[in-house]
Structure 1
Amino acid sequence: MHARRTGWQSLAIFALAVLSVVTGVAAAIADADPDRRRNADVVTVPELADDGTATGGGRPRVRDIRSTLYDVTAIPVPAADGAVTVAYTVERAGEAEIVTTRAADLAAADELVDELRSSPRVAAAEIDTVFAALGEGERSEPVGGDPERDRQWGLDLLDAEKTFTRGNACGQTIAVIDSGVDGGHPDLQGVVRTGKNLVSRGIGATDRSGHGTEVAGVAAAAHGNGTGISGMAPGARVLPVGIEDAAGQMHASDLAQAIKYAIEHDATVINLSLGGPVRSPNVEYWLERAHEAGISVIASAGNAYPNDNPTIWPAASPWTIAVAAVAPTRVWAPFSSTGEYVDLAAPGVAVLTTARGGGYVAGNGTSLAAPFVSAAAAMLRAKDEALTPQRVRELLIDTATDVGPTGRDARFGHGIVDPAAALRTLDGPPAPCFVDIDDLTLANQIERLGLAGVTDGCARRRFCPARAVTRGQMATFLARAISQPATDADFFSDDDASPHEVGINRLAQANIARGCTGTRFCPHTPVTRGQMAALISRALDLPSAGVDAFADDGRNQHEAAINALAAADITSGCDAGRPDRFCPDDTVTRAQMAAFLARMMDHGSDR
């Protein structure tokens, strides 16, 4: 009893230490006050050289992204009334769940933990720990079609273009357990699933602090969508699980619950850009359950090297792959935690990624190194879905590029991850995003929309190319294709129960979608070729053509839009044998929709 309290007291002292930052730039210290702790982690670095040291230059400030939970040490924080939360995992009838309860004070909590641990039905019990979250970083806005790709040195270091010729991550879901993810970001639209926030009980596709959005962008920002950056895992989808509370804190009990949620919602990879120097029995229990479920778990090794370099959990768990950070010249990042538990290294200095609310941020930290490895794991699983987490680990470790001392070492583990080399060990070409389009002339356009996050298909790895497209579906596809910003406005009365309401309102906000009658949008009605022409013409703001391209649209209200699309080479009609026909009243199939949108995206990037 006394020994445990002494341990917690020593951790509390550690938590009050000054936070050393990359290159020794001064930072505020974080104490037990949650508001101060929340604001202490945003650090401005003047300019970083390739080795991660400050040059004193004035190029855009780089956020020192501390891996969530890492640099403010885990300590139990009593409530205002002195109560302390105890968390435990209980097994019943083959199922397990995480339970929390309150003890009057720390002494009572100690006694309760001892009592729970003696129960054969309790798999793990502990005093729940509280950690700090992060603030926002500096942003830079995109300037053109996928314009920021040349600033993504991390993709270059990992030979991304070669990697993309060998595989993709289609059909794979990366659970990002963090602060949430901004699903409305132009580079994440269509990539981010709804998810869940376990603290607010809302959806996970919103981000309280921005950290989760930054992590998600590294792994899975839309590929080839003409906007911003590219993620390392083209075609992957992100399952956001938020565990950050209003004070910027995260609880170990919520982390355990989040892992359980990811298991139950078909994640194939879990990314944990978080951690601390205390091993959580509850978290360990659920990490093992994830491993048994076939899920690879990737964790940041930590940014605590300047702070006495403690062992960081859950990175040190045998059920995770621990990732350290390197700079552009492949040297060790001086903040990156070291130890025997480090498995791999990946880019973690001045990494450009998505920022909450739109725009982009360059940041440092093993938080941003981990998603590179999560992406590689997802690509391996996409190419061979029978791979076990242990086999994924072996492939990534065996193909890593050895740097530093020969063999495994405390800074780099087995070396820098090499996704292309890992994929090369698996036979065959890249698996397609969709398995039901191989015999279609439009297969390339359909695959492109899958990689860009415009469509998830009709079911896992199926596109259903002959199926008609509804007006609601078209709104979602088009809003994603043009990266239309989000809006809180609600324009129509008949789409509240539609999964496409967000896309519909985005297009209405831009005066692209105008409804079917009055205040109704008719989201379940199939969209016609003429209606689709009108939507695309408005989206691109195409000028009047001045010519009549087709003979069968003279009485159609969308004739001007149809002619505008023909003049822009977005359509050549509906019948190759009769180029004067557009078939404006025919419904649009999903394959035709893919062709229209792919040409539209090409036209938009050329403007």
Structure 2
Amino acid sequence: MSRPTARPALAALAAVLTAALPLAAPASAGAAPACSAPPAPARPATEQPWPQQRYAPDRLAPLATGAGVVVAVVDSGVDRRHPQLARRVLDGADFLDPGGDGTRDCAGHGTGVASIIAAASRPGVAFRGLAPDARILPIRVSEQQVVDGRESGRTVGPTDFARAIRWAVDHHATVLNLSVVLYADNAAVRSAIAYAVRRDVVVVAAAGNLHDSGDPRPYPAAYDGVLGVGAIGADGLRSPFSQTGPYVDLVAPGGDVLLAAPGQGHRRAEGTSYATPFVAATAALLRQYRPELTATEVARRIVGGADPAPGRGDGYGAGVLNPYRAVTETPGVGTGRTGRAAALPIEGADPAAAAQRARRAAARQRALLVAGATGTTAGLVVLLAVVLPRGGRRGWRPAGPA
């Protein structure tokens, strides 16, 4: 078995976005340039990857496959030519080279991320995605790679990154996979995340790969309403590079991960970038299986269904992702981490209004049940007794800095 490649994770995007390095002039519409350094050809892999052994997608398939759910992958693009991604990738958008549809991937990063979510089964190939019937909405914001420890390639700036997030929300994505990291709070990006959260989108983001550099605070993972994801290896322990901090809600496989390569074939990689789509795929399964759940309730079930981590410390969050438990179990009161510090306030977010909307939604559901059995008057009494304490019993707290 070959060793994992160097981490090409778009955590490298952070340096470019925060340093505001010059960007290449945009191409004219319909004239997207060819990749300056196309990804190397890859061979198909036949062995079953360890995350798949752990999660057994066949066990989940009778319950949910992600059908009818759109997952936006804001990344380096997604190559729909890969046989396992055929008919699973929608026309998206290209914020790096205007005129594209997001299906050109010069780095291979976004294709790999998308495959963990939605790769279809193929004869002779053991690898498959966790939510193979989900549809991927590709949004291209980078072609950056890390070669010999150095970053190369173009990315968009924070303003266009924020525009990409809003575009995904406006084009019907109900799950947002952000395998990118910025190491500075940016008002436009913060506002875009708030926009997604207000519109009931499950937002999942990488916790970053700079543990050895002091765990600088990663965004969007540290924003309110975002599920921040760290990485573990096959032994279940936190990967040495995976950052630790209050922004980590849970961990998922991110070491020696098998994924699809542009064109065809597969490769191995590591990084919190690749742990993130396992959580996004689980959100897609839940959005299909329990369509009545809000994004907050989906996040709560994912965090509440996590398995205990074998290690200790804040690098594990609530524990290790368990998609089957997230889909099948109802989390009890107080699940998830306790004592979570409050997150940075999101521009435009109104927690009181959000709580009011949640109470009203719950009230409508309970009212239908109660009215049929006891009548309107008795139903109202029961409704008030049950619903009013609901806000104080929420177990999940969204990711955010101390």
Identify the TM-score tier after normalising by the shorter chain. Answer: 0.7 to 0.9
Q: Does 1:181 align with 2:78?
A: yes
Amino acid at match of 2:66: A
* Match in the other structure for 2:91: 194
- Structure 1 contact 223–235 (Cα < 8 Å) conserved: no
How far did 1:242 drift? 0.4
- Percent sequence identity over matched residues? 32
* Match in the other structure for 1:141: 43
Residues 335, 66 of structure 1: CA spacing in aligned structure 2 closer, same or farther, 3 A cutoff? farther
Q: Distance in 2 between matches of 1:329 and 1:135?
A: 34
Say which of 98, 102, 110 aligns to 1:212. Answer: 110
- Structure 1 contact 174–237 (Cα < 8 Å) conserved: yes
Q: Distance in 2 between matches of 1:333 and 1:137?
A: 25
How far did 1:386 drift? 1.8
Q: Distance in 2 between matches of 1:204 and 1:71?
A: 17
Say which of 5, 10, 17 aligns to 1:68. Answer: 10
Q: Does 1:260 align with 2:166?
A: yes
Say which of 362, 365, 383 aligns to 2:289. Answer: 383
- Structure 1 contact 183–189 (Cα < 8 Å) conserved: yes
Uncovered stretches (5+) of structure 1, i.e. residues with no partner = 1-58, 81-133, 427-607
Q: After superposition, what is the alpha-carbon deviation per residue over 1:79-132, rounded to whole angstroms, capped at 9, x for unaligned?
A: 79xxxxxxxxxxxxxxxxxxxxxxxxxxxxxxxxxxxxxxxxxxxxxxxxxxxx
How far did 1:286 drift? 1.1
Please state whether the residue corresponding to 1:271 is helix, strand or coil. Answer: strand
Q: Distance in 1 between matches of 2:155 and 2:194?
A: 25
The RMSD of aligned alpha carbons is 2.6
Q: After superposition, what is the alpha-carbon deviation per residue over 1:556-596, rounded to whole angstroms, capped at 9, x for unaligned?
A: xxxxxxxxxxxxxxxxxxxxxxxxxxxxxxxxxxxxxxxxx
Q: After superposition, what is the alpha-carbon deviation per residue over 1:422-458, rounded to whole angstroms, capped at 9, x for unaligned?
A: 11126xxxxxxxxxxxxxxxxxxxxxxxxxxxxxxxx
Amino acid at match of 1:62: P
After TM superposition, the structure 1 = structure 2 runs for residues 568-583 of structure 1, keeping only pairs within 5 Å, are none
After TM superposition, the structure 1 = structure 2 runs for residues 211-250 of structure 1, keeping only pairs within 5 Å, are 211-223=109-121, 227=125, 229-244=127-142, 247-250=153-156
* Match in the other structure for 2:234: 328
Please state whether the residue corresponding to 1:392 is helix, strand or coil. Answer: helix
How far did 1:64 drift? 2.3
After TM superposition, the structure 1 = structure 2 runs for residues 16-165 of structure 1, keeping only pairs within 5 Å, are 59-70=1-12, 73=15, 74-77=18-21, 140-142=42-44, 148=46, 150-165=47-62
Q: Distance in 1 between matches of 2:242 and 2:215?
A: 9
Please state whether the residue corresponding to 1:249 is helix, strand or coil. Answer: coil
Amino acid at match of 1:206: R
Uncovered stretches (5+) of structure 2, i.e. residues with no partner = 25-35, 145-152, 331-402
Amino acid at match of 1:240: P
How far did 1:209 drift? 1.5
* Match in the other structure for 2:258: 352
Please state whether the residue corresponding to 1:239 is helix, strand or coil. Answer: strand
Amino acid at match of 1:391: E
Q: Distance in 2 between matches of 1:65 and 1:136?
A: 17
Residues 78, 141 of structure 1: CA spacing in aligned structure 2 closer, same or farther, 3 A cutoff? closer
- Structure 2 contact 14–183 (Cα < 8 Å) conserved: no
* Match in the other structure for 2:148: none
Q: After superposition, what is the alpha-carbon deviation per residue over 1:135-184, rounded to whole angstroms, capped at 9, x for unaligned?
A: 77776422xxxx63x43111222243322233210001110000100011
How far did 1:245 drift? 5.8
Please state whether the residue corresponding to 2:237 is helix, strand or coil. Answer: coil
Q: Does 1:251 align with 2:157?
A: yes
Q: Distance in 2 between matches of 1:368 and 1:135?
A: 22
Q: After superposition, what is the alpha-carbon deviation per residue over 1:299-341, rounded to whole angstroms, capped at 9, x for unaligned?
A: 0110001112211111111121010000001011001011011
Could you say which structure has the greater relative contact order, defined with CA pairs below 8 angstroms and 6 or more residues apart?
2
Q: Distance in 2 between matches of 1:68 and 1:411?
A: 20
Q: Distance in 2 between matches of 1:165 and 1:153?
A: 21
- Structure 1 contact 373–417 (Cα < 8 Å) conserved: yes
Please state whether the residue corresponding to 2:292 is helix, strand or coil. Answer: coil
After TM superposition, the structure 1 = structure 2 runs for residues 308-327 of structure 1, keeping only pairs within 5 Å, are 308-327=214-233
Q: Distance in 2 between matches of 1:139 and 1:369?
A: 24
How far did 1:253 drift? 1.3
Residues 346, 245 of structure 1: CA spacing in aligned structure 2 closer, same or farther, 3 A cutoff? closer
- Structure 2 contact 205–221 (Cα < 8 Å) conserved: yes
Residues 135, 279 of structure 1: CA spacing in aligned structure 2 closer, same or farther, 3 A cutoff? farther
Amino acid at match of 2:169: I
Q: Distance in 2 between matches of 1:366 and 1:63?
A: 14
How far did 1:206 drift? 1.4
Residues 405, 352 of structure 1: CA spacing in aligned structure 2 closer, same or farther, 3 A cutoff? closer
Q: Does 1:419 align with 2:323?
A: yes
Please state whether the residue corresponding to 2:156 is helix, strand or coil. Answer: strand
Q: Distance in 2 between matches of 1:139 and 1:191?
A: 22
How far did 1:237 drift? 0.8
Residues 260, 71 of structure 1: CA spacing in aligned structure 2 closer, same or farther, 3 A cutoff? closer
* Match in the other structure for 2:210: 304
- Structure 2 contact 95–160 (Cα < 8 Å) conserved: yes
Please state whether the residue corresponding to 1:345 is helix, strand or coil. Answer: strand
Q: Does 1:171 align with 2:68?
A: yes
Query: Which structure's CA Rg is the greater one?
Result: 1
Say which of 271, 278, 283 aligns to 2:184. Answer: 278
Q: Does 1:410 align with 2:314?
A: yes
Stretch deviating more after TM superposition (206-215 or 346-355): 206-215
- Structure 1 contact 347–368 (Cα < 8 Å) conserved: yes
After TM superposition, the structure 1 = structure 2 runs for residues 435-450 of structure 1, keeping only pairs within 5 Å, are none
* Match in the other structure for 2:273: 367
How far did 1:234 drift? 2.1
Residues 351, 372 of structure 1: CA spacing in aligned structure 2 closer, same or farther, 3 A cutoff? same
Q: Distance in 2 between matches of 1:303 and 1:329?
A: 18
Aligned length: 311
How far did 1:223 drift? 3.2
Q: Distance in 1 between matches of 2:315 and 2:246?
A: 9
Residues 71, 290 of structure 1: CA spacing in aligned structure 2 closer, same or farther, 3 A cutoff? closer
Please state whether the residue corresponding to 1:244 is helix, strand or coil. Answer: coil
Q: Distance in 1 between matches of 2:81 and 2:193?
A: 30
- Structure 2 contact 95–140 (Cα < 8 Å) conserved: yes
